[in-house]
């Protein structure tokens, strides 16, 4: 594919304060063949006025509030690109991102994924780059892992690009208010090759209203994460059957991250736990088995197993602190983060990433008129 058109589709709902940075970052790509499509999903803030400032440099679509999956589909239908990037409106993408994606792209690729740098509401680097991909992660390893667990090391929405021909086969997905990237990421490895770029090409903004990231512990979220994982597993099964892949048993019962959600849910809000009849004893047995058979680094699996045991056995107050350290990165001390980086649990920013991210562009916190 020579000089493909790349579509950056921005889904937005009431993020007018962050939207300028997302749009401006999409418009400032060094790669010349880019179109920007914005789908406003019924916002009630000043998003419409913000979008109007960009004029005909973007394709703007306004619809009644229908949720993220519908916004994705609306934006996809309006786009023309051979490669499609869905960018959340509270995130941003680095100027060289699309050029880098195109350089890695080749026939048969369904999805490219990369790392994200975490920034706060004002665009200041928070010190974390994720995911922490295993060294030399291959497309075949990704496919094996997704068939086994319905999960694999992958970023949220703003760290993925998809082939148009793949999206034509799988969209629309079932109606989801949030988390539409989950089903897409689950089935992409079944349709073709997954390319992993171990570089930070996007910014992931942590501001307290994120669906996935937590600035403080919200126990109610774990039940929703579990239900989203269950829906993703069902979506995976349907497409695996269509493509003659075997999915043995329940993938979620082998997925260590999902099982951590289940332990947290059982410990903090057992009355709202969505897996009927499950006990802490049953969940910890699955979690330990998953840690023993997982594909992560040995030290990672040992620490996860110890965390799972500690959460299960500890009094609720202590378990809550352990769960907070695990799922609220800002709650961890610099010393703890340093230890986790030394153990390669967290990704250590490369020298150029650290230098550049500590001097983030001022526009990440500004309106377009001020950029």
Name which of 310, 335, 341 is nearest 323 in CA terms: 310
| Strand 83-88 to 6-12 pairing | parallel
Please give the CATH topology (third level) of the domain spanning 6-212+350-365.
Spore Coat Polysaccharide Biosynthesis Protein SpsA; Chain A (3.90.550)
pLDDT of residue 295: 80
Domain boundaries, the chain: 6-212+350-365, 220-327
* Residue pLDDT tens, the chain, 371 long: 679 999 999 999 999 999 999 999 999 999 999 999 999 999 999 999 999 999 999 999 999 998 888 999 999 999 999 999 999 999 999 999 999 999 999 999 999 999 999 988 888 888 889 999 988 899 999 999 999 999 999 999 999 999 999 999 999 887 555 677 889 999 999 999 999 999 999 999 988 666 655 667 899 999 999 999 999 999 999 999 999 999 999 999 999 999 999 999 999 999 999 999 999 999 999 999 999 998 888 888 999 999 999 999 999 999 999 999 999 888 888 898 888 888 888 888 877 776 666 556 655 655 544 44
Provide the whole-model pTM. Answer: 0.91
What tokens were used for 162? 């998809």
- For the chain, the farthest-separated pair of C-alpha atoms sits apart, in whole angstroms, at 59
Distance (Å, rounded) from C-alpha 53 to C-alpha 266?
48
């Amino acid at each position: 594919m020579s000089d493909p058109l790349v579509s950056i589709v921005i889904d937005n709902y009431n993020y007018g304060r962050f939207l300028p940075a997302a749009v401006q970052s999409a418009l400032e790509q060094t790669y010349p063949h880019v179109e920007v499509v914005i789908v406003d999903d019924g916002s009630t803030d000043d998003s419409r006025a913000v979008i109007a400032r960009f004029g005909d440099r973007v394709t703007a679509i306004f619809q009644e509030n229908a949720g993220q999956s519908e916004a994705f589909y609306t934006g996809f239908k309006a786009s023309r690109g051979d490669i499609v990037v869905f960018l959340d409106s509270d995130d941003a993408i680095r100027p060289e991102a699309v050029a880098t994606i195109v350089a890695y792209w080749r026939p048969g690729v369904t999805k490219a994924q990369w790392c994200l740098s975490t920034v706060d509401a004002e665009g200041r680097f928070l010190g974390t780059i994720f995911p922490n991909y295993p060294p030399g992660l291959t497309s075949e390893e990704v496919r094996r892992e997704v068939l086994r667990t319905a999960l694999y090391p992958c970023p949220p929405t703003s760290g993925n690009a998809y082939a148009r021909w793949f999206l034509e086969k799988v969209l629309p997905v079932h109606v989801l208010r949030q988390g539409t990237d989950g089903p897409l990421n689950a089935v992409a490895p079944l349709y073709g090759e997954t390319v992993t770029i171990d570089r930070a090409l996007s910014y992931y903004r942590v501001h307290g209203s994120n669906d996935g990231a937590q600035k403080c512990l919200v126990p109610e979220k774990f039940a929703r994460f579990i239900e989203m994982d269950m829906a993703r597993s069902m979506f995976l099964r349907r497409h695996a059957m269509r493509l003659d892949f075997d999915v043995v048993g329940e993938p979620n019962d082998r997925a260590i991250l999902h099982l951590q959600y289940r332990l947290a849910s059982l410990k903090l809000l057992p009355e709202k736990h969505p897996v009927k009849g499950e006990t802490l004893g049953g969940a910890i047995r699955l979690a330990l088995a998953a840690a023993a058979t997982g594909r992560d680094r040995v030290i990672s699996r040992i620490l996860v197993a110890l965390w799972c045991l500690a959460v299960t056995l500890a009094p609720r107050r202590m378990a809550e602190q352990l769960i907070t350290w695990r799922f609220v990165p800002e709650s961890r001390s610099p010393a703890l983060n340093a230890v986790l980086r030394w153990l390669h649990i967290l990704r250590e920013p490369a020298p150029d990433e650290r230098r550049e991210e500590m001097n983030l562009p001022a526009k990440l916190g500004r309106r377009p008129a001020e950029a």
